[in-house]
Amino acid sequence: MGAGIRILAAALLALAAVGGATAQLRQGYYSASCPNVEAIVQAAVALKVQQTPVAVGATVRLFFHDCFVQGCDASVIIVSSGNNTAEKDHVSNLSLAGDGFDTVIKAKAAVDTQCPSPNLVSCADILTMATRDVIGLAGGPAYPVELGRLDGLVSTASNVDGNLPPPSFNLDQLTAMFAANNLSQADMIALSAAHTVGFAHCGTFTGRIQTAAVDPTMDPGYASQLLAACPAGVDPNVALEIDPVTPHAFDNQYFINLQKGMGLLTSDQVLYADVRSRPTVDAWAANSSDFQAAFVAAMTNLGRVGVKTDPALGNIRRDCAVLNS
């Protein structure tokens, strides 16, 4: 077999493996074992958001951080134990809000109580459904979710290294990291708009607002507002809403903000500053329906990243935060 044929064969096998895993995800996966599961999760999530509105952004961010490290397998929810430091305790995940984890834990409790028997639905699928539901509760698009993921068997902080984009990334770095997860540049730009309901800590953007050298891509008035909220010496963990205009609504205001130089993070504003991605920002700022369609497609693609459907690679966790013994 020639080298070219061997490479092609290997590529086809890899695609078959990915396709096989994705093919086992499907809408209505629990229609026989727990037909009301989506309604159960939705009710639990609605109650949580009513009690704690910040759960919206927290849950969306939790889903992203989970899927980009070892795939969408709820491994980010595992707590550290013994000699193992779990993903949750990696420095990149320490800013994940507790309300995101609590949303999943409460939905899991509701599912285990109201399904015909406990432990029928994976934590990974519950996180997927909960993410869809918080987006809908914030006014975002309703969309069907593919289900059938198993929960991962490993959660190690070292696996996070280099797999989550820092707020300093430029367009090429962002595009490359998303491409490594089979996500396109359009997917990346659409998913970035989840920041419309998110928070960021002062420490992630203070370098852009220093009086002596304000980032030239940032609106000066916006920089002044941020400096007042995050003055020199402030606790770097103080959090601000990323979308200062409609912070509780899942909408396309994120892109309109970018046009005005009001992207909070470098990785936000670069989507407009870079002429290669600017046309997409302009298009979605002008057309909310087109943005929502692109976002749904991107979330579907994100939900397929690294999924585990083989019982040798995953199971259904009895407690989302603890590996089954």
| Binding positions for Ca(2+) | 66, 69, 71, 73, 75, 87, 196, 243, 246, 251
Residue numbers in the known binding site for heme b are 195
What is the three-state SS of the chain?
A: CCHHHHHHHHHHHHHHHHHHHHHCCECCCCCCCCCCHHHHHHHHHHHHHHHCCCHHHHHHHHHHHHHCCCCCCCHHHCCCECCECCHHHCHHHCCCCHHHHHHHHHHHHHHHHHCCCCCCCCHHHHHHHHHHHHHHHCCCCCCCCCECCCEECCCCHHHHCCCCCCCCCCHHHHHHHHHCCCCCHHHHHHHHHHHHHCEEEHHHCHHHCCCCCCCCCCCHHHHHHHHHHCCCCCCCCCEEECCCCCCCCCCCHHHHHHHCCCCCCHHHHHHHHCCCCHHHHHHHHHCHHHHHHHHHHHHHHHCCCCCCCCCCCEECCCECCECCC
Residue numbers in the known binding site are 66, 69, 71, 73, 75, 87, 165, 195-196, 243, 246, 251
Catalytic residue, chosen from 65, 90, 201, 248, is 65
Residue numbers in the known binding site for substrate are 165
Residues 6+ apart with CB under 8 A from 194: 57, 60, 61, 64
Is 201 tagged catalytic? no
Would you name the residues annotated as active-site residues? 65
